[in-house]
Amino acid sequence: MAEGHGLITTQADVVVIGAGIVGLATAYYLSRRGFNVAVLEKGYVGSGSSTRNAGRYRVHFGNRENTEFAIRAIKKLESLSSELGWNGVFERSGYLWLIRSERVLKLYEELNNEIWKPLGVPVEILSTDEIRERFPYINTQGIIGAAFGPQDGAFHHDYIVMGYYERALDLGVHIYEYSEAKSIGIESNRVVNVSSNNVFIRTKAVVFAAGAWTGELMKSMLNIEVPIKPLRREIGITEPVRPIINTYVIDTERSFLYVGQTMRGEILGSIELEGVEGFLPYGNTLNWLSTWAREVIKLIPALRNIRVMRVWSGYYEMTPDNSHIMGRSEDWPEGIYVVSGFSGHGFMFGPLAAELLAKYIATGEVDPLMKPFLPTRFKTGNLIRERLII
């Protein structure tokens, strides 16, 4: 490694762009396979969406491919406390999808019978009376039923991010914070180097794991079109109160309102208003806050007098089919890979996706779980249309 006039010159087998959960996990698993790895991060570790999420996980998705991926991904996620040495504070409190129409009830029954039951993760279809008995704090006016997934739960995202960060450093991964990737050198259709504002790295491979920024970066640096668009979402949390909510409640037909309670007692949640694609400034709106508060109180009247303590925003990294992208396309320069576009479920899927991508880079083997999510699907038309996006 050499330094001169503030520029660091070094080399690595693989450079990962992005130091969120996906980038850190990718660097960690590549390093475990013997690669010399460097990570470029334009901000600080976890400064993107990895520390701006709700800290929830689920195995129930709207198609077989994502559900199969989720089942293995959640097993991986729940194993991380022992693997990383940081307690992820996992809790299986379940997800409760409230249903207000026969059409949506039929959809959940079909998903349960055709996908979830055969894969060993059935939900319970509840009547209104059963909802009142098991979740008495919910105002069931207008609700005709619910689907309850007891396999789903919550975790603390910061501890997992820091676990990957520490273990990656232990393995010798070089993580350059405040180092924004600017260009990639290509010779004879192969990667030869990567440059940031303060680091020049000779390398043979680059992994784009930059979340909502991935599509923009691959376009500007390589003129490669990867259909990932940022969508800003807002979220809020209240003061801690006595235990009230014993699951994670999603009102599927009321702007996808969701609300739950943390182990400390805070009420955490959001509501989906009409989103606008693009990198809007981080921030929050009075319209969002008042709408969320009003709808939460309608659904759970006991929350009426609780004070909101903090609100924040982050980006979903959306793809046309609401499913993630991992791997490479043969028409890209050799050594270019991507793992991104998780469309709101990156923390759930990220650790497994990173492990599978590291295996692919090391061996060339495409895991059967990974194969449907290759970027080539957007050319072949084999899209994985995901319906259950929260």
Average pLDDT by stretches of 10, the chain with 390 residues: 69 97 97 98 90 88 96 94 90 95 96 98 98 97 97 90 96 97 96 96 98 95 95 92 96 86 93 74 86 94 95 91 96 97 91 98 96 95 87
Q: What is the pLDDT of residue 284?
A: 82
Range of the domain at 126: 91-151+230-318
Boundary of a domain, candidates 299, 318, 337: 318
Q: What is the pLDDT of residue 4?
A: 46
Q: Are residues 105 and 34 in the same domain?
A: no
- Closest residue by Cα to residue 41 from 208, 174, 166, 177: 177
CA 137, CA 356: separation in Å to the nearest integer? Answer: 42
In the chain, the N- to C-terminal Cα span, in Å, equals 45
Q: What is the pLDDT of residue 253?
A: 82
Counted domains in the chain: 2
CATH number at residue 245: 3.30.9.10
Boundary of a domain, candidates 318, 348, 365: 318
Angle at alpha carbon of residue 326, lines to 19 and 89, rounded to 5°: 50
CA 58, CA 74: separation in Å to the nearest integer? Answer: 7
Tokens of 170: 């232990």
Q: Are residues 136 and 212 in the same domain?
A: no
CATH number at residue 348: 3.50.50.60
Boundary of a domain, candidates 290, 318, 346: 318
Q: Are residues 222 and 271 in the same domain?
A: no
CA 315, CA 5: separation in Å to the nearest integer? Answer: 35
Q: What is the pLDDT of residue 274?
A: 66
Q: Are residues 106 and 235 in the same domain?
A: yes
Q: Are residues 311 and 289 in the same domain?
A: yes
Q: Are residues 133 and 244 in the same domain?
A: yes
Q: Are residues 222 and 236 in the same domain?
A: no
Q: Are residues 173 and 313 in the same domain?
A: no
Q: Are residues 168 and 308 in the same domain?
A: no
Count of positions (residues) in the chain: 390
User: Is the CB of residue 344 less than 8 Å from the CB of residue 357?
Assistant: no
pTM: 0.93
Q: Are residues 8 and 123 in the same domain?
A: no
Residues in CB range of 318: below 8 A, 6 or more apart? 228, 229, 230, 231, 277, 341, 343, 344
